[in-house]
C-alpha cells in the first residue's frame, strides 16, 4: 500500500507465536479512564512487596483488583478473595478494565474472555521479573491479557522449557499482549527496566495482567 510506512491506520497486530498476539497501542485511547479507575483501587489496596516462599521480598511491588487476587507468602503462591494487608475483599474490577480485556482478547482471536482477577505490577527503574510460568490459575485453557503503562520494558518470551533462549520483545506504554492455547505455559519475564521518565507516569512501569483465575 502507498504510504504504508506512515502507519496512517495505526500499528497492526503482531503475532509472536501461534496463540500470542501483540496489539500495539491498543489501550492508548483508554489510558486516562484506566488511571482514574486505578486510583481508588490503589488507595484501598496499595502496592506492596510480597515475600517469596523463600522469605525474600519480591522486586516487583504489586496489588490486585477483582474477585481474586494473586499473593505470595511463606506458604507459597495462590489466589485469595481477600487482601491480606487489610482483611477486606480486593477492590472490584473496574468496568473499563474488564471491557478492555474482553475486546483485546476478541481482537486476538479469543472470544468470550471474562476476567475475574487483575494483578497490578509496579516496576521502578532497575526492577526485573525473572523467568517463570503462570501456573496458579484453575484453567490453563483460558487466555491472559496484559496491558503495559509507563516506562518501556523488554519482555522475555521463552519456550515451554526454562532452558530455551527467550525472544526479546519491546513493550511500550499502551501496548496490549494476549496469549493462550499452547502458549499459555511459556516461560516469560521482564529485563531490568532502564532508567528514564515517562511523560504521563514518571519513573515507573505499571503492568496490568487480567486472568480468569477461579
Chain contacts with ligand MD3 (rule: CB under 6 A): 20, 119, 121, 129, 134, 144, 146, 157, 177, 179, 183, 186, 188, 190, 207, 209
Q: Out of Fe ion, ligand MD3, none, which partner does residue 83 contact, by CB within 5 to 8 A per kind?
A: none
Strands (E), 138-184: 144-150, 153-157, 167-171, 176-179
Q: Is 16 exposed, middle or buried (0-12, 13-18, 19+ CB in 10 A)?
A: middle
As beta bridge partners, residue 132 has: 188
Least distance to Fe ion from the beta carbon of 141, Å? 17
Least distance to ligand MD3 from the beta carbon of 36, Å? 21
As beta bridge partners, residue 146 has: 177, 209
CB contact at 8 A, 69 and 90: yes
Pick the closer one to ligand MD3 by CB: 3 or 163: 163
Q: Cell numbers 523463600 label which residue?
A: 54
Q: Out of ligand MD3, Fe ion, none, which partner does residue 105 contact, by CB within 5 to 8 A per kind?
A: none
Q: Out of Fe ion, ligand MD3, none, which partner does residue 97 contact, by CB within 5 to 8 A per kind?
A: none
Q: Out of Fe ion, ligand MD3, none, which partner does residue 177 contact, by CB within 5 to 8 A per kind?
A: ligand MD3
Q: Which residue is nearest to ligand MD3 (CB)?
A: 207
Least distance to ligand MD3 from the beta carbon of 62, Å? 8
Residues between 118 and 177 that touch Fe ion (CB under 5 A): 134
The three cell numbers of residue 205 are 512501569
The three cell numbers of residue 40 are 481508588
CA atoms within 13 A on the CB side of 98: 13
Q: Out of ligand MD3, Fe ion, none, which partner does residue 61 contact, by CB within 5 to 8 A per kind?
A: none
Alpha-carbon distances of 133 from 6, 159, 184, rounded to whole Å: 37, 10, 9
Least distance to ligand MD3 from the beta carbon of 172, Å? 12
Pick the closer one to ligand MD3 by CB: 7 or 162: 162
**Residue 9 to residue 18: CA distance in whole angstroms:** 24
Least distance to ligand MD3 from the beta carbon of 2, Å? 35
The three cell numbers of residue 159 are 519456550
Least distance to ligand MD3 from the beta carbon of 206, Å? 9
The three cell numbers of residue 172 are 511500550
Pick the closer one to ligand MD3 by CB: 7 or 164: 164
Amino acid at each position: 500500500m502507498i504510504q504504508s510506512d506512515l502507519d496512517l491506520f495505526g500499528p497492526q497486530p503482531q503475532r509472536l507465536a501461534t496463540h500470542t498476539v501483540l496489539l500495539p497501542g491498543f489501550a492508548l485511547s483508554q489510558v486516562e479512564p484506566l488511571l482514574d479507575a486505578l486510583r481508588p483501587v490503589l488507595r484501598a489496596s496499595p502496592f506492596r512487596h510480597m515475600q517469596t516462599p523463600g522469605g525474600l521480598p519480591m522486586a516487583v511491588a504489586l496489588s490486585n483488583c477483582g474477585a481474586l487476587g494473586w499473593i505470595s507468602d511463606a506458604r507459597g503462591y495462590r489466589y485469595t478473595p481477600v487482601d491480606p494487608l487489610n482483611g477486606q475483599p480486593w477492590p472490584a474490577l473496574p468496568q473499563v478494565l474488564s471491557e478492555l480485556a474482553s475486546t483485546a482478547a476478541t481482537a486476538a482471536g479469543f472470544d468470550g474472555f471474562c476476567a475475574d482477577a487483575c494483578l497490578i505490577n509496579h516496576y521502578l527503574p532497575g526492577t526485573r521479573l525473572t523467568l517463570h510460568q503462570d501456573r496458579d490459575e484453575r484453567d490453563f485453557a483460558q487466555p491472559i491479557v496484559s496491558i503495559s503503562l509507563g516506562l518501556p520494558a523488554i519482555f522475555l518470551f521463552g519456550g515451554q522449557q526454562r532452558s530455551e533462549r527467550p525472544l526479546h520483545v519491546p513493550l511500550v506504554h499502551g501496548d496490549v499482549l494476549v496469549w493462550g492455547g499452547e502458549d499459555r505455559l511459556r516461560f516469560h519475564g521482564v529485563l531490568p527496566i532502564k532508567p528514564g521518565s515517562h511523560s504521563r507516569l514518571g519513573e515507573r512501569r505499571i503492568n496490568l495482567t487480567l486472568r480468569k483465575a477461579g
